[in-house]
């Protein structure tokens, strides 16, 4: 009988459950935050900024890092990979449906995801009850910074792209392309507001006013507003917060073997309080598994050669010269590189001609020349002797034989100490040396060669390089200096394309926007300086080949396809561009 | 008891002689709810009757109404229309019956509450056709029983070739005078016919085998049972007994290919199982798995935890009408699994043991050492064209004319070791060179493969008294798959109890417990394929496993994690149902069941520093703990009523509520100090901890009503209505309603129907809507994810919006129309034909978004998907002789799928001149979904062959070289891009499926059954043809053996080594059609007479084989499992019942 009651009770309960249906059906996301309870106060919006700041980091890390795409789309590098997917032949491999192993579309995705995050803040900026206008505007200013940062990159990678002015909380498939110029104007406005509110001094990893002005300088340059560029760059240089590091500092300061350039690029020193040169530094340190960047920088993999590969380098008898045997002295000292970004002769040799005592090319500690590479294969009869290029197939040297700036890219690897790939380290996004070079560029566009040379020489003097004579300052010289100083830090393709657009917009040297896809400074410089593209060099499956229209990367086809109700233009030269319509010249609140 | 009654029911239906339809309804509704308090009912119960000029039938009705007695009789033995008057006051049933039959030749027998009416013994002889007695004649006495020793009443016995015959009495006995050499044919509906020779015999004991596939079996339809003849929907039954000789670890193994309209591929791992889908894909993004109902309640647990040995039958509800009672979750069909239960017979112990060996249907091995070296030489030969032809040749096997000196001098400083020079030219590394010189090779493939073993031990005990029936089973499965470390163990136990508390209340409990263990780590087959045959298993110390057997960091040692990873993966689950059933007056019964499911999983592992992962992290450990608790309550009210023997009504109402909760915790740590020796048992020993939790919660409820109505047993109607609620759709659309209706017409019951060779003919039509809610519990919400970052060395947490919200999200609905014909022909063929047309609307799908919005996809209800199909099932008794019986079952099905609408975005149609000539709905190219095409349509570049040497220039246009695959450039513009040049080619799922099962019984005790399965007209990806592996594998590692293009082997089928397959990406589609002898088993029943003295009721030994033979053109491992190896099992077993 007892059971009978139990069942009766249960059925009563069941009926009761039905009588209070409302609460019964509300979804309970137990382990998931929702916009409704997070995006309501300063802490919530600040938590989104954290995601934006972290988002600045991704492209520099991992192997191949996305950042290497910027280098191989310039005069500086090619993809040194031999794999079948390696991006060598732009004509065949760089298409709206994919760009090979070097996935250019990751830039697109990274950018638009961070734009989404920034737009969450921008659209919800009035949701919290703010204590002060300052609080609110600081948050808004940094959101504008992130949105502008990514659009600055996008318009120089992909040209005309859709501008999203707000957070989207429901599906939309009716986007249209905005012109590059419209976007640059918009982000200039936003950044002019942002630099009024960004704080001067921030924790490492956050965005300060100098970072805002640094970005604004680049935007002004892109808009050919050179005077404004000079003043915003000056705002950084004269802020009192930042200065070039000219004296030894940090972890190795007392070790006479090294020098200030070495100090500047050691992972312990990049974000240290002593370091006044770093403006915006993304953060990565070993021992914080949920905060650190995957397996680290992989800087050795990205920027140094595959010299250890037993198939490539040979001793005089044709035996493997080198090995990557775990713990071998040379593999520990040089790391197990993979040449994802394989420098051209321009990067490795030409820019270092007559470099004098330039610390950046100091071969005792900073620079790794190939002459220092020794045979470490124990079964070779020439063990311990230098590897000689003449015993090798030229083609095999593509991935395995090139010098590299050791001080920048050799990063002790906590996870793979016996076969280092490049461990965890902070990375410079903006550094004051670049601000000087940007101001120098602005002066140059204005024809003020003396001021330009002065700024360049600020940077050169610090590295003990001989000063440049104002009459020798050209845009080419500035570009060379940028490689010497900023290799692996500056987004090379972005900057080169920016300059190509400045020339086209100002009808400089016969360049024009009308036939930009056929003739542009970006391609002409690659054609002149890059000793791989268009020479019929076949490595692995594909030949190295590039065309003028690759100045703008293709718009991903799936974005075009999935935007059924609207129209996103394809860049001219890629299939699908024949259907293009005029891009929008106005950005509205509803975009 | 139930058994006996159902026998009677079968008889009743077929012969139309019984009058007990009312009884049918009663029993169907209340099941076993009649209680048997003891034998004394007839002695203590008294009746009061006062009837005048009533027929015997009316008297019986009156008695049945006022007591629990039930009358059972045969119209040949009793005239129910005889008019009588009776007057009884407080008399026992015997007194009443004595009066009633006074002066007739009827006699009766009271067995508890059942009363059997028959003719008096002496009368039986009148059945014998009067014929002059002849000397050869003899009198045979016999008894006819079923396999459970229960007498069969009313079985027909005919002397073959004569009209001489009789029927059995209520004890199953008969007496018949026959010729000396006569052969008797014993028939009884629902049982297989039997012929017995009477030669040298005077007594016969005949056991009739139940004809289990007959049209009149009881089918479980969800919240009740129905006779097959009353069913209006499309329901297919699988009887587990048919598979008892097979070594099944998972019940899906019974269903692989055996049921029309149920498509299921075999699993390849040690855990068995497989995929399942009923009538094609009805959803794009939501789960298309059928709903499983276990003993009447919805089962969300793992299929692997249901012991196949416990299963009595599986009923598959295919059409909308029959599945609609499960509304919200039934769009992909329903599998109703019924487990065995106790009966009132004496206790029975059954023990079975099955052991099997597991092999592989088709093996492809990696290159052997010679092939490996040759392949590298060939690779370099065609890659490095600047070297002379013989540069890569074996120095001791140089082609004509070339001297060793000449060969050596190709290098600037020749060494004095030509072999080393050669291997260096082939890019071998030191380890490989040393091992080559020492003649040392490793067969990695053999190291990771093994002969698998499957074992299953099962014991069950069943029995019961009239008030308590029990079934208890315990099963231990221990499978070792074909790859080292693919181990699976499961201990499964079940208790089913049914108890009659009073004659109006019965209660019961079903408990299922499983302890599933998958703690071992597989050896890695892919790494066994890539590892060089000249690699090393161990470092120089001969005991430390190498990380990279041939020194290349991309290719790991296949034995590493198998040997070194410490792993624990155990899941315990408990599934219990408590039920109670109350019988109320006015034919109403009420059943409530309360179901709980608990599941606890521990999934832990630890990688020590002797593995690459452990080395990088200085020890890495992870613990995942997950527990699940869910409950549901079903309240079912049933009302059954017959009116004037013409109208039969069964109404069912359901009230259901459910709740799901799960808790998941992940703990990770690395950098263990002082060491990782405590493994995952002490993650606190690491210094880099990481935590993650994911708890989930959902609720649902349902209201359902169903009406079954049958008119004169000929016209059948079923209607259902269901309303479901679910929290995942809780914001705007918490509820959805689903309806269905079905009609059946048993045409063969009509008086005008007089086609002799058609025994049964029923036409069915059904319509209904079903829902699908199988999406994530929080899919409708915008979800924020957390992330961490550093400011200097300060750790901080941030958030971002991870998914877009869709508060309008609602149920996916499938509307389906089903036409069916059930038929029985020539007394030995029966089957059914089905045609259906289903349309799914409001498809739950991850629609593609332009990625710029920050999300690439959002879950949405969009589009329309159609499925049409045809199914045929035929069972036939081909031969039915005493010593040879042959039954066949043929199934055939086809399904055609079509995307009718997607997002409703219109795009212009442009003619060749660029003029807009109309509009059409846009396809989703990113997902390869095209309006008007099937979901499984293949859209890819078409391979025309291989570019040959004389086509070098044409190939170069596309960036290709001789030996690369030649793709069709549809518009001949010299560029391959998907929009212009991909074409539709074939389908990914079978166009036709056929199954043929044959069962033979030879000399009574030998049974042989064979199942042949055929899937036709579909394609799969077999990129072995391309020789286009990534990562320069051809100069770095080993691979599976395939032929390849070479200038001197200009095949048009295989690519050159390292052929270009990336720009654009494409696949080699190969026909997967196959015919396979999937199951073959031979069983021998030891004859009863040899077992009696050992107290053994039944002893059977058997052998069975799975995937014995496969015919296909598919060149990878197996057409069913494609690029995985398919196990091939041979097993033996023994089945013992005491």
Residue B600 pLDDT grade (very low, low, confident, very high; cuts 50, 70, 90): very high
Q: What integer is the mean pLDDT of B240-267? A: 82
Question: Which burial class, exposed, middle or buried, applies to A364 when counting CB atoms under 10 A from its CB (0-12, 13-18, 19+)?
Answer: exposed
Contacts of A21 in chain B (CB under 8 A): 701, 725, 734
Q: Note the pLDDT of residue B120.
A: 64
Q: Note the pLDDT of residue B403.
A: 86
Within 13 Å, how many C-alpha atoms sit on residue B318's CB side?
A: 32
Q: What integer is the mean pLDDT of B563-582? A: 93
Strands B138-146 and B203-208, how do they pair?
parallel
Q: What integer is the mean pLDDT of B988-1010? A: 90
At residue A544, the 3 state secondary structure works out as coil
Q: Mind listing the pLDDT tens digit for each residue in B314-349?
A: 888 887 777 777 767 777 788 888 898 888 777 889
Question: Which burial class, exposed, middle or buried, applies to A203 when counting CB atoms under 10 A from its CB (0-12, 13-18, 19+)?
Answer: middle
Q: Note the pLDDT of residue B213.
A: 47
Is the CB of A47 inside 8 Å of chain B's CB atoms?
yes
Q: Do A108 and B804 touch (CB under 8 A)?
A: no
Residue A565 pLDDT grade (very low, low, confident, very high; cuts 50, 70, 90): confident
Task: Please determine, for residue A488, whether its predicted confidence score (pLDDT) is greater than 70.
Answer: yes
Q: Note the pLDDT of residue B38.
A: 39
Q: A169 or B319, which is more confident? A: A169
CB atoms within 10 A of CB B1126: 23
Candidates B414, B420, B849; nearest CB to A171: B849
Interface of B with A in 1036-1095 (CB under 8 A): 1036, 1058, 1060-1065
Is the CB of B181 inside 8 Å of chain A's CB atoms?
no
Strands (E), B341-467: 348-360, 452-464
Q: Over A18-83, what HEC string results?
A: HHCHHHHCCCCCCCCECHHHHCCCHHHHHHHHHHHHHHCCHHHCCCCCCCHHHHHCCCCEEECCCC
Q: How far is CA B38 from the centre of its chain?
A: 43
Task: Please determine, for residue B14, whether its predicted confidence score (pLDDT) is greater than 70.
Answer: no
Q: How many residues does chain A have?
A: 591
Phi (first) and psi of residue B507, to 5 degrees: -130, 165
Is the CB of A201 inside 8 Å of chain B's CB atoms?
no
Task: Please determine, for residue B524, whether its predicted confidence score (pLDDT) is greater than 90.
Answer: yes
**Nearest CA-CA distance, residue A100 and chain B, Å:** 7
At residue B937, the 3 state secondary structure works out as strand
Closest residue by Cα to residue A212 from A230, A231, A191, A193: A191
Do B1114 and B1074 contact (CB within 8 A), yes or no?
yes
Q: Which long-range contacts (CB under 8 A, 24 or more apart) does A269-276 make?
A: A270/A425, A270/A426, A270/A427, A270/A428, A271/A204, A271/A205, A271/A426, A271/B792, A274/A249, A274/A250, A275/A245, A275/A249, A275/A250, A276/A241, A276/A242, A276/A243, A276/A244, A276/A245, A276/A432
Q: Note the pLDDT of residue B40.
A: 53
Q: Do A173 and B592 touch (CB under 8 A)?
A: no
Q: Which of B635-639, B991-995, B1084-1088 shows the lowest mean pLDDT across its residues?
A: B1084-1088
Q: Note the pLDDT of residue B922.
A: 85
Candidate ranges A181-195, B446-460, B511-525, B727-741; pick with highest mean pLDDT: A181-195
Supply the mean pLDDT for chain B.
Answer: 84
Of the residues A20, A31, A107, the best mutation for testing chain B's interface (the one with the most B CB atoms within 10 Å of its CB) is A31
Do B427 and B329 contact (CB within 8 A), yes or no?
no
**Nearest CA-CA distance, residue B618 and chain A, Å:** 8
DSSP string over B744-797:
EEEGGGSTT---TTEEEEEEEEEEEEEEE--S-TTTTS--EEEEEEEETTEEEE
Q: B79 or B702, which is more confident? A: B702
Q: Note the pLDDT of residue B87.
A: 78
Phi (first) and psi of residue A395, to 5 degrees: -60, -35
Do B699 and B646 contact (CB within 8 A), yes or no?
no
CA-nearest residue to A420 within chain B is B616
At residue B352, the 3 state secondary structure works out as strand
Question: Which burial class, exposed, middle or buried, applies to B1060 when counting CB atoms under 10 A from its CB (0-12, 13-18, 19+)?
Answer: buried
CB atoms within 10 A of CB B222: 26
Cα B747–Cα B751–Cα B757 angle in degrees, nearest 5 = 65
Phi (first) and psi of residue B653, to 5 degrees: -125, 140
Whole-number CA gyration radius for chain B:
36
Q: Do A10 and B413 touch (CB under 8 A)?
A: no
Q: What percent of chain B lies above the pLDDT cut of 70?
A: 92
CB atoms within 10 A of CB B106: 20
Interface of B with A in 525-554 (CB under 8 A): 547, 551, 553
At residue B12, the 3 state secondary structure works out as helix
Q: Mind listing the pLDDT tens digit for each residue in A204-262?
A: 999 999 999 999 999 999 999 999 999 999 999 999 999 999 999 999 999 999 999 99
DSSP 8-class letter at B684: G
**Nearest CA-CA distance, residue B250 and chain A, Å:** 33
CB atoms within 10 A of CB B957: 12
Q: Do B633 and A28 touch (CB under 8 A)?
A: no
Q: A371 or B913, which is more confident? A: A371
Q: Mind listing the pLDDT tens digit for each residue in B25-80?
A: 333 333 333 333 334 566 667 777 777 777 887 888 878 777 777 777 766 667 77
Contacts of A44 in chain B (CB under 8 A): 799
Q: What integer is the mean pLDDT of A568-574? A: 95
Q: Mind listing the pLDDT tens digit for each residue in B105-164?
A: 777 777 667 777 777 654 444 444 444 444 567 888 888 888 767 778 778 888 887 878
Q: Do B1064 and A323 touch (CB under 8 A)?
A: no
Is the CB of B617 inside 8 Å of chain A's CB atoms?
yes
Q: What percent of chain B lies above the pLDDT cut of 90?
A: 35
Of the residues B620, B1063, B1066, the best mutation for testing chain A's interface (the one with the most A CB atoms within 10 Å of its CB) is B1063
The kind and range of the H/E element at A324 are: none
Interface of B with A in 559-588 (CB under 8 A): 578, 580, 582
At residue B1019, the 3 state secondary structure works out as strand
**Nearest CA-CA distance, residue B800 and chain A, Å:** 6
Q: How many residues does chain B have?
A: 1138
Task: Please determine, for residue A574, whether its predicted confidence score (pLDDT) is greater than 90.
Answer: yes
Candidates B616, B731, B851; nearest CB to A109: B851
Phi (first) and psi of residue B612, to 5 degrees: -60, -45
Task: Please determine, for residue A112, whether its predicted confidence score (pLDDT) is greater than 90.
Answer: yes
Interface of A with B in 60-119 (CB under 8 A): 82-85, 89, 91-93, 95-98, 100, 108-109, 112-113, 115-117, 119
Task: Please determine, for residue B721, whether its predicted confidence score (pLDDT) is greater than 60.
Answer: yes
Q: Distance between CA A389 and CA A82 in Å, rounded?
A: 19
Closest residue by Cα to residue B865 from B949, B791, B935, B942: B935
At residue B582, the 3 state secondary structure works out as strand
Q: Note the pLDDT of residue A9.
A: 55
Q: A483 or B880, which is more confident? A: A483
Q: How far is CA A201 from CA A204, A209, A218, A242, A279, in A?
A: 9, 8, 21, 10, 10
Do B422 and B390 contact (CB within 8 A), yes or no?
no
Residue B484 pLDDT grade (very low, low, confident, very high; cuts 50, 70, 90): very high
Q: Do B804 and A109 touch (CB under 8 A)?
A: no
Candidates B689, B789, B1064; nearest CB to A97: B1064
**Nearest CA-CA distance, residue A237 and chain B, Å:** 23
Task: Please determine, for residue A21, whether its predicted confidence score (pLDDT) is greater than 50.
Answer: yes
Is the CB of A336 inside 8 Å of chain B's CB atoms?
yes
Q: What integer is the mean pLDDT of B881-908? A: 88
DSSP string over A446-477:
HT-HHHHHHHHHHHHHHTTPPPPPGGG--HHH
Q: Note the pLDDT of residue B129.
A: 42
Q: Note the pLDDT of residue B217.
A: 67
Residue B278, beta-bridge partner list: B262
Q: Distance between CA B456 and CA B247 in Å, rounded?
A: 7
Q: Mind listing the pLDDT tens digit for each residue in A288-303?
A: 888 999 889 999 999 9
Task: Please determine, for residue A334, whether its predicted confidence score (pLDDT) is greater than 90.
Answer: yes
Whether the complex's predicted ipTM is more than 0.90 is answered with: yes
Task: Please determine, for residue B215, whether its predicted confidence score (pLDDT) is greater than 70.
Answer: no
Contacts of B412 in chain A (CB under 8 A): 316, 318, 391
DSSP 8-class letter at B62: H
Is the CB of B693 inside 8 Å of chain A's CB atoms?
yes
Q: Distance between CA A404 and CA A407 in Å, rounded?
A: 9
Task: Please determine, for residue A414, whether its predicted confidence score (pLDDT) is greater than 60.
Answer: yes
Q: Do B727 and A290 touch (CB under 8 A)?
A: no
H-assigned helices in B508-587: 525-530, 560-564
CA-nearest residue to B426 within chain A is A311
Candidates B430, B671, B792; nearest CB to A320: B430
At residue A508, the 3 state secondary structure works out as helix
Q: Note the pLDDT of residue B16.
A: 37
Q: Mind listing the pLDDT tens digit for each residue in B372-421?
A: 999 999 998 888 877 887 889 888 888 878 888 888 888 777 778 888 88
Q: Note the pLDDT of residue B275.
A: 79
Interface of A with B in 265-304 (CB under 8 A): 271, 283-285, 287-292, 295
**Nearest CA-CA distance, residue A206 and chain B, Å:** 7
Task: Please determine, for residue B255, whether its predicted confidence score (pLDDT) is greater than 60.
Answer: yes
Do B923 and B931 contact (CB within 8 A), yes or no?
yes
Task: Please determine, for residue B1075, whether its predicted confidence score (pLDDT) is greater than 90.
Answer: yes
Task: Please determine, for residue A354, whether its predicted confidence score (pLDDT) is greater than 70.
Answer: yes
H-assigned helices in A463-574: 475-486, 492-505, 521-529, 557-562
Phi (first) and psi of residue B780, to 5 degrees: -80, -10
Strands (E), B447-547: 452-464, 468-480, 487-502, 505-517
Closest residue by Cα to residue A339 from A49, A539, A581: A539
Q: What integer is the mean pLDDT of B351-358? A: 92
Candidates A29, A48, A311; nearest CB to B778: A29
Interface of B with A in 98-117 (CB under 8 A): none
Q: Note the pLDDT of residue A471.
A: 95
Q: Do A320 and B668 touch (CB under 8 A)?
A: no
Contacts of B792 in chain A (CB under 8 A): 203-205, 271, 283
Q: What percent of chain A lies above the pLDDT cut of 90?
A: 79
Q: Do A30 and B781 touch (CB under 8 A)?
A: no
Q: Note the pLDDT of residue B950.
A: 93
Q: Note the pLDDT of residue B32.
A: 31
Contacts of A284 in chain B (CB under 8 A): 790
Residue B544 pLDDT grade (very low, low, confident, very high; cuts 50, 70, 90): very high
Q: What integer is the mean pLDDT of B304-318? A: 87
Do B255 and B892 contact (CB within 8 A), yes or no?
no
Of the residues B507, B672, B853, the best mutation for testing chain A's interface (the one with the most A CB atoms within 10 Å of its CB) is B853
Closest residue by Cα to residue B1101 from B1087, B1083, B1088: B1083
Q: How far is CA B641 from CA A167, B62, B301, in A?
A: 62, 16, 37
End-to-end CA distance of chain B: 20
Contacts of A557 in chain B (CB under 8 A): 925, 978-979
Q: Note the pLDDT of residue B333.
A: 80
């Amino acid at each position: 009988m007892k059971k009978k009651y139990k069942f009766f009770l249960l059925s009563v309960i069941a009926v009761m459950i039905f009588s209070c249906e409302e609460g019964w059906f509300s979804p309970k996301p137990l382990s998931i935050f929702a916009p409704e309870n997070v995006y309501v106060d300063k802490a919530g919006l600040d938590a989104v900024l954290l995601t934006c700041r972290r988002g600045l980091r991704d492209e520099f890390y991992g192997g191949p890092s996305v950042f290497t795409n910027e280098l191989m789309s310039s005069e500086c590098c090619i993809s040194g990979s031999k794999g079948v997917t390696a991006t060598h032949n732009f004509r065949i491999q760089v298409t709206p449906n994919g760009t090979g192993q070097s996935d250019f579309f990751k830039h697109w995705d990274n950018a638009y995801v961070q734009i989404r995050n920034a737009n969450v803040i921008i659209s919800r900026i009035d949701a919290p009850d703010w204590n002060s206008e300052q609080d609110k505007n600081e948050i808004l200013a940094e959101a504008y910074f992130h949105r502008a940062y990514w659009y600055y990159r996008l318009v120089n990678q992909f040209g005309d792209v859709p501008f999203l002015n707000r957070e989207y909380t429901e599906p939309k498939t009716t986007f249209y392309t905005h012109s590059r110029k419209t976007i640059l104007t918009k982000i200039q406005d936003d950044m002019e507001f942002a630099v009024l509110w960004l704080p001067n001094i921030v924790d490492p990893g956050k965005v300060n006013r100098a970072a805002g002005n640094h970005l604004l300088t680049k935007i002004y340059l892109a808009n050919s507003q050179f005077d404004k560029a000079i003043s915003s760059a000056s705002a950084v240089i004269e802020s009192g917060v930042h200065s070039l590091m000219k004296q030894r500092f940090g972890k190795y300061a007392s070790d006479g073997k090294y020098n200030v350039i070495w100090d500047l690029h050691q992972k312990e020193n990049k974000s240290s309080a002593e370091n006044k040169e770093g403006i915006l530094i993304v953060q990565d340190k070993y021992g914080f598994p949920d905060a650190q960047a995957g397996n680290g920088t992989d800087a050795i993999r990205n920027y140094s050669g595959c010299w250890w590969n037993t198939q490539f380098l040979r001793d005089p008898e044709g035996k493997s010269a080198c090995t990557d045997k775990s713990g071998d002295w040379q593999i520990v000292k040089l790391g197990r590189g993979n040449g994802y970004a394989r420098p051209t002769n321009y990067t490795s040799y030409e820019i270092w001609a007559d470099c004098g005592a330039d610390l950046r090319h100091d071969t005792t500690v900073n620079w790794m020349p190939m002459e220092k590479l020794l045979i470490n294969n124990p079964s070779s009869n020439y063990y311990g002797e230098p590897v000689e290029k003449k015993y090798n197939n030229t083609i095999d040297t593509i991935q395995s034989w090139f010098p590299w700036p050791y001080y920048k890219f050799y990063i002790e690897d906590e996870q793979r100490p016996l076969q280092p790939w490049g461990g965890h380290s902070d990375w410079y996004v903006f550094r004051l040396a670049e601000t000087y070079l940007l101001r120098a560029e602005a002066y140059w566009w204005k024809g003020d060669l003396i001021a330009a040379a002065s700024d360049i020489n600020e940077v050169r003097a610090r590295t003990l390089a001989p000063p440049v004579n104002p009459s020798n300052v050209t845009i080419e010289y500035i570009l060379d200096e940028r490689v010497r100083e900023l290799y692996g830090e500056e987004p090379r393709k972005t900057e080169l394309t920016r300059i190509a657009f400045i020339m086209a917009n100002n009808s400089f040297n016969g360049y024009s926007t009308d036939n930009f896809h056929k003739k542009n400074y970006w391609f002409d410089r690659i054609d002149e300086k890059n000793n791989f593209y268009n020479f019929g060099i076949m490595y692995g499956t594909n030949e190295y080949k590039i065309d003028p229209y690759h100045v703008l990367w293709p718009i991903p086809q799936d974005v075009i396809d999935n935007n059924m109700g609207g129209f996103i233009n394809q860049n001219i030269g890629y299939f699908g561009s024949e259907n293009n319509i005029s891009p929008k010249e106005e950005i509205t609140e509803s975009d | 008891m139930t058994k006996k009654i159902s026998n009677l029911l079968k008889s009743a239906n077929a012969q139309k002689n019984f009058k007990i339809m009312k009884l049918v309804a009663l029993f169907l509704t209340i099941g076993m709810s009649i209680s048997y308090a003891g034998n004394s009912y007839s002695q203590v119960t008294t009746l009061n009757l006062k009837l005048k000029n009533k027929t015997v039938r009316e008297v019986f009705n009156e008695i049945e109404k006022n007591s629990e007695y039930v009358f059972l009789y045969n119209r040949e033995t009793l005239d129910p229309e005889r008019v009588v008057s009776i007057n009884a006051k407080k008399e026992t049933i015997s007194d009443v019956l004595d009066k009633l039959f006074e002066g007739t030749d009827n006699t009766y027998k009271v067995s508890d509450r059942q009363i059997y009416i028959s003719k008096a013994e002496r009368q039986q002889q009148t059945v014998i056709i009067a014929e002059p007695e002849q000397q050869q004649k003899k009198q045979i006495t016999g008894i006819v029983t079923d396999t459970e020793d229960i007498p069969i009443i009313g079985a027909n016995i005919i002397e073959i070739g004569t009209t001489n015959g009789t029927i059995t009495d209520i004890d199953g006995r008969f007496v018949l005078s026959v010729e000396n050499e006569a052969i008797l044919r014993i028939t009884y509906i629902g049982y297989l016919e039997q012929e017995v020779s009477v030669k040298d015999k005077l007594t016969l004991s005949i056991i009739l085998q139940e004809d289990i596939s007959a049209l009149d079996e009881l089918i479980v339809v969800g919240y009740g049972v129905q006779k097959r003849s009353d069913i209006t929907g499309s329901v297919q039954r699988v009887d587990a007994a048919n598979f008892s000789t097979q070594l099944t670890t998972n019940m899906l193994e019974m269903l692989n290919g055996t049921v029309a309209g149920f498509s299921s591929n075999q699993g390849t791992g040690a855990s068995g199982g497989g995929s399942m889908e009923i009538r094609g894909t009805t959803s794009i993004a939501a789960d298309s798995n059928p709903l499983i109902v276990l003993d009447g309640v919805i089962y969300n647990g793992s299929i692997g935890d249901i012991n196949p040995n416990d299963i009595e039958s599986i009923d598959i509800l295919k059409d909308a009408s029959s599945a609609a009672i499960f509304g919200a979750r039934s769009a992909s069909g329903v599998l109703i699994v019924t487990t065995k239960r106790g009966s009132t017979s004496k206790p029975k112990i059954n023990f079975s043991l099955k052991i099997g060996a597991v092999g592989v249907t088709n093996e492809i091995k990696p290159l052997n050492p010679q092939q490996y070296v040759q392949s590298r030489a060939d690779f370099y030969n065609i890659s490095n064209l600047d070297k002379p032809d013989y540069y890569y040749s074996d120095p001791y096997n140089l082609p004509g004319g070339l001297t060793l000196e000449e060969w050596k001098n190709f290098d600037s400083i020749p060494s004095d070791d030509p072999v080393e020079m050669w291997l260096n030219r082939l890019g071998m590394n030191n380890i490989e060179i040393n091992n080559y010189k020492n003649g040392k090779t490793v067969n990695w493939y053999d190291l990771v493969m093994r002969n698998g073993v499957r074992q299953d031990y099962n014991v069950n005990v069943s029995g019961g008294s009239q008030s308590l029936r029990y079934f208890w089973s315990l099963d231990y499965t221990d499978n070792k798959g074909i790859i080292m470390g693919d181990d699976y163990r499961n201990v499964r136990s079940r208790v089913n109890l049914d108890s009659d508390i009073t004659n109006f209340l019965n209660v019961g409990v079903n408990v299922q417990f499983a302890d599933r263990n998958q703690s071992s780590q597989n050896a890695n087959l892919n790494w066994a394929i890539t590892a060089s045959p000249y690699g090393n298993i161990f470092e120089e110390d001969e005991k430390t496993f190498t990380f990279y057997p041939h020194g290349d960091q991309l290719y790991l040692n296949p034995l590493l994690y198998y040997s070194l990873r410490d792993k624990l993966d155990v899941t315990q689950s408990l599934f219990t149902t408590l039920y109670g059933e109350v019988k109320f007056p006015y034919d109403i019964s009420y059943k409530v069941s309360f179901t709980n499911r608990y599941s606890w999983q521990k999934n832990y592992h630890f990688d020590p520093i002797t593995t690459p992962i452990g080395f990088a992290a200085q020890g890495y450990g992870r613990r995942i703990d997950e527990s699940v608790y869910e409950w549901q309550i079903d309240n079912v009210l049933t009302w059954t009523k017959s009116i004037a023997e013409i109208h039969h009504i069964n109404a069912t109402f359901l009230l259901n509520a459910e709740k799901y909760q799960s808790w998941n915790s992940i703990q990770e740590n690395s950098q263990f100090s002082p060491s990782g020796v405590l493994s995952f048992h002490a993650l606190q020993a690491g210094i880099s901890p990481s935590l993650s939790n994911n708890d989930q919660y959902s609720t649902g409820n349902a209201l359902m009503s169903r009406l079954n109505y049958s008119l004169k047993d000929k016209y059948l109607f079923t209607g259902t209505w269901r309303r479901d609620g679910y929290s995942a759709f809780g914001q705007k659309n918490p509820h959805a309603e689903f309806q269905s209706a079905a009609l059946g017409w048993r045409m063969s019951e009509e008086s005008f129907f007089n086609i002799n060779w058609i025994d049964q003919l029923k036409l069915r039509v059904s319509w209904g809507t079903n829902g699908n809610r199988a999406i994530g519990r929080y899919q409708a919400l915008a979800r924020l994810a957390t992330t961490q970052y550093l400011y200097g060395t300060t750790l901080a947490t941030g958030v971002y919006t991870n998914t877009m919200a869709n508060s309008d999200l609602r149920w996916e609905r499938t509307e389906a129309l089903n036409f069916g014909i059930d038929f029985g022909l020539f007394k030995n063929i029966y089957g059914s034909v089905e045609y259906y047309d289903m349309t799914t609307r409001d498809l739950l799908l991850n629609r593609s978004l332009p990625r710029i919005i920050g999300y690439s996809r959002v879950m949405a209800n969009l589009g329309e998907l159609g499925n049409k199909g045809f199914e045929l099932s035929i069972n036939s008794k081909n031969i039915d002789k005493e010593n040879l019986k042959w039954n066949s079952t043929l199934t055939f099905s086809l399904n055609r799928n079509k995307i009718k609408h997607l997002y409703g975005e219109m795009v212009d149609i442009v003619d060749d001149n660029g003029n807009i000539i109309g509009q059409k709905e846009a396809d989703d190219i990113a997902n390869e979904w095209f309006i008007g095409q099937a979901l499984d349509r293949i859209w890819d570049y078409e391979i025309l062959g291989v570019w040959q040497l004389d086509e070098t220039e044409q190939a170069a246009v596309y960036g290709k070289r001789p030996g690369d695959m030649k793709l069709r450039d549809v518009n001949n513009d010299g560029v391959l891009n998907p929009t212009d040049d991909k074409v539709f080619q074939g389908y990914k799922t079978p166009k036709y499926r056929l199954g043929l099962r044959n069962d033979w019984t030879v000399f009574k005790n030998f049974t042989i059954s064979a199942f042949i399965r055929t899937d036709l007209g579909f394609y799969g990806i077999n990129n072995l043809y391309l020789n286009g592996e990534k990562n320069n594998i051809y100069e770095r590692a080993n691979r599976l053996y395939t032929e390849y293009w070479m200038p001197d082997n200009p095949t048009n089928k295989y690519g050159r080594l390292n052929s270009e397959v990336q720009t654009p990406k494409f696949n080699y589609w190969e026909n997967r059609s196959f015919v396979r002898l999937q199951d073959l088993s031979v069983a021998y029943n030891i004859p009863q007479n040899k077992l009696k003295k050992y107290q053994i009721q039944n002893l059977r030994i058997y052998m069975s084989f799975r995937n014995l033979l496969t015919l296909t053109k598919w060149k990878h491992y197996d057409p069913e499992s494609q690029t995985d190896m398919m196990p091939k099992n041979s097993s033996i077993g023994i089945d013992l019942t005491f």
